[in-house]
Amino acid sequence: MLDARRDFLAHCRLELGLSANTLAAYENDLAKAYAGLAALGLTIEEVGPDEIGRLLAWLRDERQHAGTSLGRALVSLRMYARWLVAEKFMPRDRIGLARLPKQWIELPEVLSVAEVESLLLSPPDGAMHARDRCALELLYATGGRASEVAGLGVADLREGGRLVRLRGKGDKERMVPLGEPARRALRRYLTELRPTLATTASGDALLLSPRGRPMTRQALWKLVQVAGALAGIQRPLYTHLLRHSFATHLIAGGADLRAVQELLGHANLSTTQRYTHVDAARLRDVHRRFHPRA
């Protein structure tokens, strides 16, 4: 069914408007799932809840997939199966009946508020200090994905920098407010550094490289790594960790779950709800460590 998989990916790109990164993830997930089905002697037409359990176990044990990878693989298969039925490649969809075992769902890592503060105050010294400080502040202040923050344009700043427009998955737009620390870092960068970096190649891009080109997702990832090391944070860091922390800190502070969903650009509330589990886990840990009868 290789041709069917290609047609499915074309459908996702042309009709659903999914990003190149999402398409690549679906293609990779389906390739691994088909490898697992072949190893188990199964075809996709035979797959139901029991077979999904065997497939996920194979991916976990033979390919060392983590819980998040298993969940994504199942989501990809569900979408593909629905499309196969709609296009009459398959008579019925039994994959949609399968549910991800709870023990394989992993809660996202988060930074403490103190760790975030330390990270934001630790951009490397040098000519790009103002840009780096601005980029770090934007990642945490907006809760944006690295691709969304890297893709910001000057025109995406609204109301004097009080609001920023982010473009998420499927090119969906959302408005996110900026707090005063992020606005200060933004004003300094726009006033002192960006005019010296801008060239004809810059276009409207907000965050620029030393050569005046738009800052990349990879450069943002490297910046978070370097700033984390300078801040003395002794664990692996990545850009999405600031997004996880943004959501968890909002919920811990009493923010409405649906408001957080809108700020994150999640299509489903269930995706946002996992951050309530993170906060509950933190509260249980505090209770266990400090309550005299825990």
Active site residue 277: no
Q: DSSP assignment, residue 20?
A: H
Do the beta carbons of residue 48 and residue 96 sit within 8 Å?
Answer: no
Q: Sort residue 157 into left (φ over 0), alpha (ψ -120 to 50) or beta.
A: beta
Active site residue 13: no
Instruction: Out of 266, 274, 277, 282, pick the active-site residue.
Output: 266
Query: CA 151 to CA 204: how far, in whole Å?
Result: 10
Instruction: Out of 34, 80, 189, 275, pick the active-site residue.
Output: 275
Active site residue 287: no
Query: CA 36 to CA 193: how far, in whole Å?
Result: 52
Instruction: Out of 5, 82, 169, 274, pick the active-site residue.
Output: 169
Instruction: Out of 183, 243, 244, 249, pick the active-site residue.
Output: 243
Q: Is the dihedral of CA 45, 46, 49, 53 positive or negative?
A: negative
Do the beta carbons of residue 220 and residue 149 sit within 8 Å?
Answer: yes
Nearest to 177 by CA among 162, 157, 159: 162
Active site residue 99: no
Active site residue 189: no
Active site residue 275: yes
Nearest to 59 by CA among 4, 100, 109: 100
Instruction: Out of 145, 167, 183, 244, pick the active-site residue.
Output: 145
Q: Is the dihedral of CA 245, 100, 66, 5 positive or negative?
A: negative
Query: CA 192 to CA 3: how far, in whole Å?
Result: 53
- Positions marked active-site: 145, 169, 240, 243, 266, 275
